[in-house]
Amino acid sequence: MAIDQDQLNTLLFRLIGDVAAAASGPLVVLGDRLGLFRALAANGPLSSADLAGQLALHERYVREWLNNMVAAQYVQYEAATARYFMTPEQAACLADADSPAYLPGGYYAVTALYLDEPKAEEAFRTGQGIGWGDHSNCLFCGAEKFFGPGYKANLMDHWLPALDGVVAKLTAGASVADVGCGHALSTRLMARAFPASQFHGIDYHAPSISHATEMAAAWQLANAQFRLGGASDFDGNYDLITFFDCLHDMGDPAAIARHVKSRLKPAGTWLIVEPMAGDSVSENINPVSRAFYAFSTLVCVPVSLSQPGRVGLGAQAGPARLLEVVRAGGFGDVRVAATTPSNLVLEARV
C-alpha cells in the first residue's frame, strides 16, 4: 500500500510537536517550582539576567529555559531589547495559581506517568493492577494541583448550587463525607465555606490523609476531620456524600454505589464529579479526552484492577455508563446536574 506523502508529513509534524511538548514538560514543572513564571508575569519584560537575578538562579540555565518557553509560545520575546514577558492569557495558564485556567499541576502528574512506566509495562503483561499508593509521589501533589483550579472555580459557585436543596442544608448544618478525598482540597473548600457543617474526609492512602490533616490545621478548620477508610466500608450517616474524580478508580463502582446508599440519611444526596467524556470513542477524539485516556491507561484502570471487583471503568466512561452504574446501586433519581469542559457532575438521590 503506497504512502501518501502529504498525510505522512502531517502525521510526522504532529508527532514532532508531541515529542517537543513531552520534552518541555519538566521545564514547565521547573518554571512553576522555581517561580520563573510568576516572577516574569509580575515584573516583565525582563532580560534573562534580570529574571535570574531576581530569583538567585544561574543566568545561562534561565536563558535556555526562556527560549524553550518562547518556542512553545508560553512566553513572549522582544527581539529589539532581548527581553521576555507574558501576556495576561499566558499568565492565567501558567503563573496565577488562583486562575481557573492554571495548568502546571497537570505536568506534575505527567511526571509520575513517566516514572511509573516500568510498572505499567508489567501490568500490561500480567493484567495485574497498580495501587494508588504504589505510584510516584508527584502524582498525589499533581492531582491536587491539576484538579484544584477547577474545584476552586466551580464547587461553590456552580456544582453545589446545582444540587437540589444542598446549599441550604450545608448552611444550616449538615454532615458530609468526602470519600476518596486525597489531599482533600475539596473537603477544605467546603468546610471553609460552610462552618456550621461537619466534614469527614475519607481515603485509603495514609500519606494523603496525613497531608489533608496538616492542611486543615493550617487553614484553621475545626469542622474538618480526616481518617483512613475505603469507599466500600466507611461508616457513619450523612446528608451529603461526595466523590471527586474517583468513582472510576474504584474496583466495583456499583457495589460502592450500594454502600453509599446505605450511608445516606433520608433525603440525602450523592455528588459525583467525573472527567468529561462522551459515550463512545468517536465522541472523545479531542485533546481533553486524549489526556484523560492517557491517565486512565496508566493510573485509573490500573488502580481499579488492583481492587476487588476489577471493573476497570476508566476515566472516559461517559454519562450513560456512569448513570447506569449509579442506578445499579439502588439510586432511582440520578441526573447530570452540571458540566464544564473537563467535568461531568452527577446528582444521585434515593
Same domain, 86 and 167: no
Using an 8 Å Cβ cutoff, are 253 and 313 in contact?
yes
Answer whether residue 228 is part of any domain: yes
Same domain, 90 and 109: no
| Consecutive H or E run containing 179 | strand 175-179
In this predicted structure, the answer to whether residue 350 has a pLDDT above a threshold of 90 is no
pLDDT tens for each residue of 87-96: 999 999 999 9
Q: Which three cell numbers stand for residue 203?
A: 481515603
Same domain, 337 and 287: yes
Answer whether residue 11 is part of any domain: no
Question: What per-residue confidence (pLDDT) applies to 40?
Answer: 98
HSE-up of 87 (CA within 13 Å, CB side)?
A: 9
Q: Which residues are CB-contacts of 49 (< 8 A; sequence separation ≥ 6)?
A: 59
In this predicted structure, the answer to whether residue 304 has a pLDDT above a threshold of 90 is yes
Same domain, 287 and 305: yes
Cα gap 208→203, rounded to integer Å: 8
In this predicted structure, the answer to whether residue 110 has a pLDDT above a threshold of 90 is yes
Domains in the chain, number: 2
Q: Which residue has the higher pLDDT, 138 or 58?
A: 58
CATH code of the domain containing 83: 1.10.10.10
Cα 90 from chain centre: 20
Percentage of the chain surpassing pLDDT 70? 100
In this predicted structure, the answer to whether residue 227 has a pLDDT above a threshold of 90 is yes
Answer whether residue 132 is part of any domain: yes
Same domain, 29 and 155: no
Answer whether residue 167 is part of any domain: yes
Question: What per-residue confidence (pLDDT) applies to 97?
Answer: 92
Please, which pLDDT band fits residue 346 given cuts at 50, 70 and 90? very high
Question: What per-residue confidence (pLDDT) applies to 121?
Answer: 97
Decide which of 94, 124, 152 is a domain's last residue.
94
Decide which of 62, 94, 126 is a domain's last residue.
94
Answer whether residue 8 is part of any domain: no
Mean pLDDT within 248-275: 97
Using an 8 Å Cβ cutoff, are 241 and 199 in contact?
no
Same domain, 134 and 275: yes
Decide which of 94, 118, 148 is a domain's last residue.
94
Same domain, 319 and 180: yes
Question: What per-residue confidence (pLDDT) applies to 31?
Answer: 98
Using an 8 Å Cβ cutoff, are 5 and 34 in contact?
no
Please, which pLDDT band fits residue 5 given cuts at 50, 70 and 90? very high
Answer whether residue 262 is part of any domain: yes
Least confident of 39-43, 139-143, 226-230: 139-143
Q: Residue 187 is part of which domain span?
A: 104-349
Answer whether residue 180 is part of any domain: yes
Using an 8 Å Cβ cutoff, are 184 and 281 in contact?
no
Question: Global pTM?
Answer: 0.94
Same domain, 133 and 216: yes
Please, which pLDDT band fits residue 1 given cuts at 50, 70 and 90? confident
pLDDT tens for each residue of 331-340: 999 999 999 9
Q: Which three cell numbers stand for residue 231?
A: 469507599
In this predicted structure, the answer to whether residue 76 has a pLDDT above a threshold of 90 is yes
Mean pLDDT within 38-52: 98
Q: Which three cell numbers stand for residue 328?
A: 445499579
Give alpha helix (H) positions in the chain: 5-33, 36-43, 48-55, 59-71, 88-94, 104-115, 117-126, 137-154, 166-172, 185-193, 206-218, 253-263, 287-295, 301-305, 319-328
Question: What per-residue confidence (pLDDT) applies to 138?
Answer: 87
In this predicted structure, the answer to whether residue 105 has a pLDDT above a threshold of 90 is yes
The mean pLDDT of the chain is 97
Question: What per-residue confidence (pLDDT) applies to 181?
Answer: 97
Closest CA to 138 of 183, 92, 91, 203: 183
Question: What per-residue confidence (pLDDT) applies to 302?
Answer: 97
Same domain, 121 and 80: no
Same domain, 134 and 177: yes
CATH code of the domain containing 165: 3.40.50.150
3-state SS assignment for residue 57: coil
Answer whether residue 13 is part of any domain: no
In this predicted structure, the answer to whether residue 177 has a pLDDT above a threshold of 90 is yes
Question: What per-residue confidence (pLDDT) applies to 253?
Answer: 97
In this predicted structure, the answer to whether residue 205 has a pLDDT above a threshold of 90 is yes
Closest CA to 143 of 230, 231, 212: 212
Same domain, 35 and 134: no
Percentage of the chain surpassing pLDDT 90? 98
Same domain, 229 and 122: yes
Burial of 112 (0-12, 13-18, 19+ CB in 10 A): buried
